[in-house]
A and B are shown apart, each in its own frame.
Chain A
Amino acid sequence: MIIFDHVSKEYKHSNRPALNDINLTINQGEFVFLVGSSGSGKSSLLRLMVKEEKATEGSIEVDGINVGKLRNRKVPAFRRNMGIIFQDFRLLPTKSVFDNVAFGMEVIGKSRKEIRERVPEVLDLVGLAGKEKRLPTELSGGEQQRVAVGRAFVNNPKLLLADEPTGNLDPATSVGIMKLLDRINRTGTTIVMATHDVAIVDQMRKRIVQLDRGHIVRDQERGIYGEMAQ
Chain B
Amino acid sequence: MRPSFIAKELGTGLRRNLTMTIALVVSVAVSLTLFGTALLMRTQVERMKGYWYDKIEVSIFLCGPNSTAVTCTGTVSDEQRAAIQAAIQGLTPTVQSWYYEASAQAYERFKVQFKGSPIIANVSPYALPESFRVKLDDPNHFETISSVVSTMPGVETVQDQRKLLQRFFTILHGMQTVALGIAIAMLFVTVLLVMNTVRIAAYARRRETSIMRSVGASNMSIRLPFILEAVTAAVLGAGVAAGIMLGLKQYVIDQRLAPSMSYIAFVTWDDVLAVLPWLFAAGVGTTVLAASFTLRRYLRG
Contacts and interface: CB of A to CB of B under 8 A. Distances in A.
Contacts of B216: 76-81, 107-108, 155
Given A90-B210, A112-B2, A107 B12 contact: no
Contacts of B211: 90, 92, 103, 151
Interface string B214-241: 1111110110000000000000000000
Nearest to A108: B216
Given A106-B1, A107-B1, A79 B212 contact: no
Nearest to A83: B215
A175 to B, nearest CB: 25
Contacts of B221: 107, 109
Contacts of A152: 215
Contacts of B256: none
A165 interface: no
B225 to A, nearest CB: 10
B143 interface: no
Given A90-B207, A94-B12, A103-B211, A75 B301 contact: yes
A50 B214 contact: yes
Contact of A106 (B5, B210, B214, B219): B5
B215 A92 contact: no
Contacts of A76: 213, 216-219, 301
A79 B208 CA distance: 16
Query: Which one of B5, B12, B212, B216 has the greatest number of beta carbons of chain A within 10 Å?
Result: B216
Interface in B1-53: 1-2, 4-5, 12
Contacts of A78: 216
Interface residues of A, number: 26
A92 B214 contact: no
Nearest to B221: A107
Contacts of A108: 215-217
Interface in A82-107: 83-84, 90, 92, 94, 103-104, 106-107
A111 interface: yes
Contact of A80 (B210, B215, B219): B215
A72 interface: yes
A208 to B, nearest CB: 25
A152 B214 CA distance: 9
A83 B215 CA distance: 7
Interface residues of B, number: 20
A150 B203 CA distance: 26
A107 B207 contact: no
Given A76-B219, A79-B214, A151-B215, A106 B208 contact: no
Contact of A103 (B2, B12, B215): B215
Interface in A109-165: 109, 111-112, 151-152, 155
A110 to B, nearest CB: 8
Query: Which one of A77, A108, A155 has the greatest number of beta carbons of chain B within 10 Å?
Result: A108
Contacts of B1: 106-107, 109
A79 B210 contact: no
Given A106-B1, A106-B5, A72 B301 contact: yes
Nearest to A155: B215
Contacts of A109: 1-2, 221
Given A90-B210, A92-B208, A111 B217 contact: no
A155 B215 CA distance: 9
Contacts of A104: 215
Nearest to A111: B2
A111 B207 CA distance: 24
B2 A106 contact: yes
Nearest to B212: A107
B19 to A, nearest CB: 18
Contacts of A84: 214-215
Interface in A148-207: 151-152, 155
Contacts of A107: 1, 212, 215-217, 221-222
B7 to A, nearest CB: 12
B12 A79 contact: no
Contacts of B210: 90
A152 B12 CA distance: 24
A83 B216 CA distance: 9
18 contacts: A73-B219, A76-B301, A80-B215, A83-B215, A84-B215, A92-B207, A92-B208, A92-B211, A103-B211, A106-B2, A106-B5, A107-B212, A107-B216, A107-B221, A107-B222, A108-B217, A112-B2, A151-B215
Given A72-B301, A152-B215, 20 more contacts: A50-B214, A76-B213, A76-B217, A76-B301, A77-B216, A78-B216, A79-B215, A83-B215, A90-B207, A94-B12, A103-B212, A107-B212, A107-B215, A108-B215, A108-B216, A109-B221, A111-B2, A112-B2, A151-B211, A155-B215
